[in-house]
Homo-oligomer: A and B are copies of this chain.
Amino acid sequence: MSSFKQIVELIADDLTAVEAKLTEQTASEYSFVDMAVQHVVEGGGKRLRPILVVLSAKVCGYEGSDAHTLAAVVELIHVASLVHDDVLDEAAIRRGRETLQTKWGNKVAVLVGDYLHARVLSMLVARRADDPAMAILADTTQAMCEGEVIHAYKSGDFDISEAEYLKIISFKTGKLITASCTLGAHLGTTDKQTLEALTTYGQQIGTAFQIVDDVLDFTEDTDKLGKNAFGDLREGKLTFPIIYARSVCNDDEKQTLEKVLNSNTDEAEAIAFVESLFQHYGVEVHCLKVAQNYADRAKVALTVLPEIPARVALEQLADYVVARES
């Protein structure tokens, strides 16, 4: 059995409770809204963020149902961002299903994303007044948008450095993954060292996760990926492998790469060029090594925590983030 399946099995009851919350908390009296929302919420995905909330709560000694609510909250924020991303990227499939805009058009897709955010707000309002979740998530959603805006704005800026890119993804992707860990931790502890350990863990796997996501766009086929392969490339998006390749290739290759990203070449030719470039410079191997370094740092951060099954699961999850195939 894969380590991911083991993790899912360890917290199977919790994940069932999270799914129930997701359905219950997004219900609308309008059946069309309900259907459109369920289409994306039930669309599956790995539920990485809910898993992080539940495990982070457990590793801090918390076992109650608040973890399920917060797990549903972070997943809804994530799904809302995917729905909007798909509008932006004009993506046709996601998680192996038709996207909302393919089924019902852009309007419905933008609005369903907004609706999910509104439901998140409702879920947070219903909680305790002294709850740190609201402040954490206000900060998180703001950073996610800033990261996304900057990434969109910088597309076409070939001089973006690896450091700049890592900062953008720490906002775009890292913040919500980190929040998943800290929200869970806050349920069980107020100990500063523990909270910091889980924050660091979240930051490190967040970066690893996005780097691997960037790599998978080039190496996976559409079926496994659940979305269109080479989507980032088609979009002309500067991602980690491209930024690395650009830093090691020669001037001619650099020029061709810029043409490819500006869509000035035939699509099949573009893909063939990038694949051979990546092959030649060992781009995939390099990027996965960088991602593994982040995962390793994440695991080191956990050493201050008790060696209970939840901690082992978090360690396995760090490796899974790098080893996953979709």
Binding site for B on A (CB under 8 A): 28-30, 32-33, 36, 81, 84, 87-88, 104-108, 110-115, 117-119, 121-122, 124-125, 129-130, 134-135, 137-139, 141-142, 144-146, 148-150, 152-153
Contact = CB atoms under 8 A, between A and B. Distances in A.
A165 to B, nearest CB: 14
A122 B142 contact: yes
Given A87-B110, A106-B88, A28 B146 contact: yes
Given A111-B84, A130-B129, A149-B30, A118 B142 contact: yes
Given A30-B150, A138-B118, A146-B28, A84 B104 contact: no
B84 A110 contact: yes
21 contacts: A30-B146, A30-B150, A32-B153, A33-B145, A36-B149, A88-B106, A105-B152, A107-B152, A108-B152, A111-B149, A112-B145, A113-B114, A117-B117, A118-B142, A118-B145, A121-B134, A121-B138, A121-B141, A121-B142, A124-B138, A125-B135
Contacts of A152: 105, 107-108, 111
Task: Please provide the 9 A-B residue pairs with the shortest distance between their CB atoms, ordered closest to farther.
Answer: A129-B129, A115-B145, A118-B142, A107-B152, A118-B141, A121-B138, A122-B138, A88-B107, A111-B149
A268 B134 CA distance: 51
Contact of A141 (B32, B105, B117, B141): B117
Which applies to chain A's interface (DSSP): helix, strand, loop or mixed? helix
Contacts of A142: 115, 118-119, 121-122
Contact of A121 (B87, B104, B119, B137): B137
Given A88-B110, A130-B129, A135-B125, A150 B32 contact: yes
Contacts of A135: 125
Given A88-B106, A112-B149, A149-B111, A121 B118 contact: no
A83 to B, nearest CB: 10
A134 B145 contact: no
B149 A33 contact: yes
A110 B110 contact: yes
A145 B144 CA distance: 21
Contacts of A36: 149
B138 A125 contact: yes
A173 to B, nearest CB: 14
Contacts of A153: 32, 104, 108
